[in-house]
Amino acid sequence: MLLNRIIDINEILKIFYFFFLVVFDNKNELMNESQKNIKHRLTVLKEEINKIEKRFMTAQRNISKFQTALDSTEDIEIIKVLAKNISHSTDQSEELTVISSKLKIEYEQLSEKFSQNLLEITFYDVKERINDWFYKLNIEEQRNELIRVINIGKIFSHYLIIDAGKVVFLFDINEHYVFDMELLNNLNEDEIYKAYFTGDKNIRKAKTYNEKRIADIKLNDENRIFVFNYLIENFGFSYNLNDKTNFVAFVSLRGLYSQDED
Q: Each residue of 18-41: pLDDT tens digit? A: 999 998 876 666 666 767 777 788
Q: Each residue of 180-196: pLDDT tens digit?
A: 999 999 999 887 888 88
Which of the given ranges, 52-66, 91-105, 127-141, has the highest pLDDT on average? 127-141
For 63-81, what is the mean pLDDT?
82
CA dist., res. 45 & res. 40, Å (int):
9
C-alpha dihedral, 249 to 251 to 257 to 261, nearest 10°? 70
Cβ of 23: how many Cβ atoms within 10 Å?
A: 20
What is the average pLDDT score of the chain?
88
For 64-86, what is the mean pLDDT?
82
| pLDDT beyond 70 at 249 | yes
Per-residue confidence (pLDDT) for residue 260, from 0 to 100: 47
Query: Which tops the pLDDT comparison, 174 or 254?
Result: 174
Q: Could you give the residue ranges of the DSSP H alpha helices within the chain?
A: 2-19, 27-71, 76-115, 118-135, 139-149, 182-188, 193-199, 203-206, 224-235
pTM of full prediction above 0.85: no
Contact yes or no for 62/89 (Cβ under 8 A): yes
Between vectors from CA 13 to CA 143 and to CA 23, what angle results, nearest 5°? 110
Nearest to 177 by CA among 82, 247, 250, 110: 250
Q: Each residue of 116-171: pLDDT tens digit?
A: 567 787 888 899 999 999 999 999 999 999 999 999 999 999 999 999 999 999 99
Per-residue confidence (pLDDT) for residue 48, from 0 to 100: 93
List the domains of the chain with CATH numbers.
Answer: 2-26+126-249 (no CATH), 35-117 (1.10.287)
Tell me, what DSSP letter sits at residue 174? Answer: G
